[in-house]
Structures are given as structure tokens and as C-alpha cells.
Amino acid sequence: MQGQSKPKPRILTTLAELRVARRAMPGLVGVVPTMGFLHEGHASLMRRARTECATVVATNFVNPAQFGPREDFSRYPRDMDADTRLCEREGVDYVYAPSVDTVYPSGFATTVDVAGVSARWEGEYRPGHFHGVATVVAKLLIATGANRAYFGEKDFQQLQVVRRLAIDLDLPVEIVACPTVREADGLARSSRNVYLTDDDRRRALSISQALFAARDACKAGERRAAKLGESVRSLVTDAGLAIDYVAVVDRDTLEPIEVFDRAGRILIAARVGSTRLIDNIGLEC
């Protein structure tokens, strides 16, 4: 009936609750793993899952294992009430929001290490990060019994790590990649955007602008990876950002390439003020 409100998602906080609920879930189960403080990027994943699956589960867990000792775990933004409203709006059936003790109980001693695609870039600048990501994603995919799991391309290296994880561990789940969602001015949606001052945000636009310019140069005939990478680096540095890396890589292996003779990706991590942002763009020149 038009105007009828959508049912609220059921909030599950324990593994026992999740297991009971999972047995009653009909059809294909689509899972959207998140760390909360949800935005339009997360909403787009939920909408995709809603169109493809009979049951949609969003997970909401700020994973301490993927934060380094000097990173922002303690101040990472959280708003469970707002997150629940967004999940309700997008037709999510269940929200699994476990505590840290539920995910990592006393005596927990197992870590998942995905070699190869995790070694460079974020893996180098955030030691241990992908151990934490791979471990929690494996646990969540197993616990939810996901048939499909939805990840954004904005965290492209994470997406490739999760794909490798699912293949290597024989997990019966399809990893579904969804396009990066951007603000109208091009800034990639991120929960960390809340940290940006007005000036920070203005300067942060140089990241997407540089990526778009590189994509256009590639389409116009520039095939030299070094040239494309340097153009990104120059534009972002000129805006006053501190760059951790600009990487021009093979789309699948994430290894550096010299010439675009295959599908590739440009990855970037940079700091504006106290906020570290990542972004990327696909190149099929």
C-alpha cells in the first residue's frame, strides 16, 4: 500500500541470535558488511542486495583489529540510531551488531592472512590492517551464511583481498563489487569525511579531480603508467595534501604496471589535515 512504512530491521547482537535467525531466512541471503556511520555509499550496496536477494543482512561492527595503534579507532564515528533508520529506509531485514567480545571472545587466537594482493599499498602503510579485515570478514561471512556479499569499489584493495579470501577458503559466497558512490562534486563518500573542515574538504576534491584527469588522459591515448601517476601526484600535492602513495596497478593482481595494455587501476592514499583518505579509479584505455 502506498505510503505504508517499511518494517524495522531486526537487530541481532549475539551469535546465538544470528544462528537462530539465519535458519529462518528465506531464499538468497545478501550481506552488506559495514563499520557503521552509514552513508549513501552503504545505502547503494543495500539497494543492490535488496534487488537481488530475498533476505538482506547488514553487519555493523567497528573492527578494532584493522586499526593500528596510532589510528582513529577510539574516535571513529558511530551512530547506531541513524544507521538503523537508514537500514529501515533501504529495506534491510536484519542488522547484526555484535560486541567486540562476541567477535573476539577470550582466548581468540586465529588470524587470516591473505598474501599477495594485501602486501603493498594499504598493506605497507597500515601494517596488520588486512589481517584484521580478512579475519573479521571471514567470520562475518561464515556467521551470516551469506550467499552474496556486497562491497564497494571505493576500497578497491580490500575488495580484491576479500575476493581472494573467498576463493582460497572455499566460501560458498559470491563477492559482488559495486561502483564507488561520490558526492555531486566528485568526492568519494566515506565515513571519515565527517572529520573534514570546509577547507579540508575543498582541498580533498583534488583527489577525485586528479583521478578523473588521469582517466581522461588515458582515454586520449596516454599509456605510460609513470606519466599518469605523476600527473595525479602533482595535482594532489599542489592542493597541499600529503601523499602516502599513488599506484598505477594491474586491476587483478594490484602489482605495478609500466604501460596500460590491460585493465588497470590507479590507487591513491593521501592526508588532508588530520584525515587520511583513499580513492581509486579504473582505467581501460
Q: What is the dihedral of CA 201, 245, 225, 238, to 10 degrees?
A: 40
For the sheet with 275-283, list strands across it.
242-250, 264-272, 275-283
Q: Tens digit of pLDDT for each residue in 13-49?
A: 999 999 999 999 999 999 999 999 999 999 999 999 9
Q: Is the pLDDT of residue 87 over 70?
A: yes
Mean per-residue pLDDT of the chain: 96
Q: What is the pLDDT of residue 1?
A: 41
Q: How far apart are CA 141 and CA 18, in angstroms?
A: 12
Q: State percent of the chain over pLDDT 90.
A: 94
Rounded to 5 degrees, what are φ and ψ at 169? -95, 10
Q: How far apart are CA 229 and CA 50, in angstroms?
A: 37
Residue 70 banded pLDDT, cuts 50, 70, 90: confident
Q: From the CB of residue 7, how many other CB atoms can be counted at a distance below 10 Å?
A: 10
Q: Tens digit of pLDDT for each residue in 134-163?
A: 999 999 999 999 999 999 999 999 999 999
Q: Is the pLDDT of residue 60 over 50?
A: yes
pLDDT higher for 73 or 6?
Answer: 73
42 is annotated as an active-site residue: yes
Q: What is the pLDDT of residue 15?
A: 98
Rounded to 5 degrees, what are φ and ψ at 62? -85, 110
Q: What is the pLDDT of residue 76?
A: 94
Per-domain residue ranges of the chain: 10-178, 191-283
Instruction: For domain 191-283, give the fold.
Output: Pantoate--beta-alanine Ligase; Chain: A,domain 2 (3.30.1300)
Instruction: Kindly name the residue from 39, 42, 129, 131 that is annotated as catalytic.
Output: 42
Q: What is the mean pLDDT of residues 100-108?
A: 98
Q: Is the pLDDT of residue 2 over 80?
A: no
The architecture of the domain spanning 10-178 is 3-Layer(aba) Sandwich (3.40)
Q: State percent of the chain over pLDDT 70.
A: 98
User: E strands of the chain, at which residues?
Assistant: 10-12, 29-34, 55-60, 94-96, 148-152, 174-178, 242-250, 264-272, 275-283
Q: What is the pLDDT of residue 9?
A: 98
- What is this structure's pTM? 0.96
